[in-house]
Structure 1
Amino acid sequence: MRIQDCHDTDAPLFGEDDDNNRLRRSKIRHPLASFFHLFFRASAIVVYLLCDIFSSRFIVCMVTIILLLSCDFWTVKNVSGRLLVGLRWWNQVDEDGKSHWVFESRKTDNLNLTSSAESRIFWLGLIVCPIFWIIFVFSTIFSFKIKWLAVVIMGLVLQWANLYCYVRCKLGGKSNLRSIAKNYLGVQIFKEAMKKTQDL
């Protein structure tokens, strides 16, 4: 398996501030992509939570949730990631049967910069929803609703896959995520220390 690196990107991760952010418009330029980025994933969560209240048919609820999760996975992977933050990823198999994971990002010299509002929508939706599915996995296990376990695991896997791949794409295909997290934390501690010394 071979992983191709991402190019540098202008899309902010988790809404960090830099000089380029000031140049970006905070306006939402892709309202449909932003809407459907959140709609399918939020709908799957709402249907899961309200299924027992409105319907006693497990199969109907399960199929509805799986369809919503599938639509969400496809939309985030193929549409909203590319339009909202300029990132995309995919897997391809070459003639020798080797699998290649490709992580791409829009080049920084591209004049069509991403909107900071759209970037926040993208990353918040991408991060918050898998947290719900983690909670659902544990609540399903502890409440002994074993029939729902396959559904919540599928929700977690599909949404975690998009989150993981987009973070890899944003930070670089071959980057070690643990070392990046440590470096980011170190930079934040250094900034806080510098602010305190300037206040004195």
Structure 2
Amino acid sequence: MMRLDPSEDDVSLFDAEEDGVRKQKKSKIKHPLACFFHLFFRVSAILVYLLCELLSDSFIACMVTIILLLSSDFWTVKNITGRLLVGLRWWNQVDDDGNSQWMFESRKGTGKNLPSDSESRLFWLGLVVCPVLWVILAFSTLISFKIKWLAVVIMGVVLQGANLYGYIRCRVGARTSLRNAATSYLGQQFFKQAMAKQEES
């Protein structure tokens, strides 16, 4: 594992890659157990939240179960599935002066070490969709006045949102701002579309 240098483009999870590298990448799933647990804890937490009132009358038992599933998901995604499925890892450390520092790592590799396209898609899909669902559940909790569930939903938003934020920062680089990355990506897409239209003419 190496630290990300913002000047380098080590990991290209979304961008088109060179043909030689793409041929080396396999579309099959190399880590089925990691893929399973990447989705299992986060989907289970949402299902338990949605079905809790049907399955049990105990609010405390449901709340503890959901928080345990969310915590397991946070740890698994942060420490295992991100490293195995996309070759990224992040953490936050506090130095001796009490300053908080974000640390990002990216695995450089060729051939066998490259993450497969299927695993990468599954990782990012699960990482993005579930926090969005928790935000929707938070709004529905506020609208339906189920205030006792608000703490549980906020835990879902915070834990899964933290992983999403960490991996997006890891993906775009430690010092590159998200605004600059989005602007760069949109600029590249606009340029590609303009070139395609020019070639058609």
- The TM-score normalised by the length of structure 2 is 0.90
The letter for the 2-side match of 1:97 is G
* Identity %, equivalent residues: 62
Contact 1:92 1:100 (8 Å CA) reproduced? yes
TM-fit CA distance, 1:183:
1.3
TM-fit CA distance, 1:71:
0.4
Matched, 1:97 2:95: no
Query: What pairs up with 1:7-46 in 2 under 5 angstroms?
Result: 7=5, 8-13=9-14, 16-19=15-18, 20-46=21-47
Secondary structure at 1:91 match in 2:
strand
Match of 1:129 in 2: 130
Query: What pairs up with 1:35-74 in 2 under 5 angstroms?
Result: 35-74=36-75
Counterpart CA distance in 2 for 1:26 and 1:46 is 29
For these two proteins, the number of residue pairs brought into alignment is 195
Contact 2:25 2:111 (8 Å CA) reproduced? no
Moved more, 37-46 or 180-189: 180-189
TM-fit CA distance, 1:95:
3.5
Q: Which one scores higher on RCO, CA 8 angstroms, separation ≥ 6?
A: 1
Counterpart CA distance in 1 for 2:41 and 2:23 is 31
Contact 1:92 1:101 (8 Å CA) reproduced? yes
Counterpart CA distance in 2 for 1:83 and 1:36 is 12
Match of 2:145 in 1: 144
Write out per-residue CA displacement over residues 145-182 of structure 1, whole angstroms, 9 at most, x where no aligned residue: 00000000100000010000111011101111011101
Counterpart CA distance in 2 for 1:155 and 1:161 is 10
Contact 2:41 2:69 (8 Å CA) reproduced? yes
Considering only aligned residues, what root-mean-square deviation do their CA atoms show, in Å?
1.8
Write out per-residue CA displacement over residues 48-84 of structure 1, whole angstroms, 9 at most, x where no aligned residue: 1111111121111111100000000000000000000
TM-fit CA distance, 1:17:
2.7
TM-fit CA distance, 1:11:
4.9
Match of 2:121 in 1: 120
Counterpart CA distance in 2 for 1:135 and 1:93 is 33
Contact 1:10 1:113 (8 Å CA) reproduced? no
Counterpart CA distance in 2 for 1:38 and 1:150 is 22
Secondary structure at 2:90 match in 1:
strand
Match of 2:162 in 1: 161
Contact 1:44 1:69 (8 Å CA) reproduced? yes
TM-fit CA distance, 1:110:
7.6
Counterpart CA distance in 2 for 1:110 and 1:172 is 23
- The TM-score normalised by the length of structure 1 is 0.91
